[in-house]
Amino acid sequence: MIKTNVIDHIIDTLYNAERNRIEVTKFVDEFPELDLTLAYEIQDQLIEKKCQEERTVISGRKLGLTSRAKQQMMGVHEPSYGVLLENMQLAEGEPISLAPFIHPKIEPEIAFVFKKEIKGPFVSVTDVLEATAYIAPAMEIIDSRYLNFKFTLPDVIADNSSSSRYLVGNKQYKVEDVDLRLMGMVYRKNGEVVATSAGASVMGHPARAIAWMANQLVKKGQTIKPGEIVLSGALSEAFMISPGDHFSVSFDGLGSLEATFLTE
């Protein structure tokens, strides 16, 4: 078992890496004891530190590795999850500075906002849909603190699953008005289509990813709370962001969302 001082070392290293825009090397090489259980424990403690130091609060959660292709690439058989903080949310329509990031990427998502608590261990897709207040188009900016975006699954989980910033569209849509499984998505970078997909690319149904997470969270005594936002998983690969880039995502029946990055 990794000693407390080593856990503190990993937390401090990741926190300072993000704060100072410094890349670090993955920890499993130095600490092979770092497994998934311990990685989530480190994630929780890192979030506590960020809430205290940055005077913010948890606003929701995000899914990662929800596609079979990404799981195979990472050599895993299940998704991962991370935590969203209030100070991570960006306002729709406002140009975004790249100053806070190390090597950011952006990916299209479907955001769920909840009106009821979701508590495992037997949450189903139906339970998630019934607890949903509304859905909206979203994009997540991920920014791994690891050198060249290279890491193992425990490393990335400890690093809060590469969470950094996110945008959610202002328009709200009823979940019953959209076929989330068959809904098409078109993702553009600087006006050119870079990816197309459908809701089913996220574990067959975006709500299935959220149900999986809720059933994992209860093992730690945690739940998805009313008012929280959950990004249900990327519908395509993430694309690197350069100064001046413009990204847009449009969904059948769910509107669109744009993100413009400053040239400085």
Q: Give residue limits of the domains in the chain.
A: 4-260
Whole-angstrom CA distances from 240 to 113, 118, 142, 151, 251 are 27, 34, 10, 17, 21
Q: How many Å apart are CA 162 and CA 40, to the nearest integer?
A: 13
Q: Which CATH number fits domain 4-260: 3.90.850.10, 3.40.50.10860, 3.40.50.720, 3.40.430.10?
A: 3.90.850.10
Summarize pLDDT for 40-95 with one digit per residue, the tens: 999 999 999 999 999 999 999 999 989 876 777 666 778 999 999 999 999 999 99
Summarize pLDDT for 11-44 with one digit per residue, the tens: 999 999 999 999 999 999 999 989 999 999 999 9
In this predicted structure, the answer to whether residue 176 has a pLDDT above a threshold of 80 is yes
**Tokens 């799981």 found at:** 71
Per-residue pLDDT band at 2 (split at 50, 70, 90): low
Neighbours of 16 (CB within 10 A): 12
Neighbours of 221 (CB within 10 A): 7
Summarize pLDDT for 177-189 with one digit per residue, the tens: 999 999 999 999 9
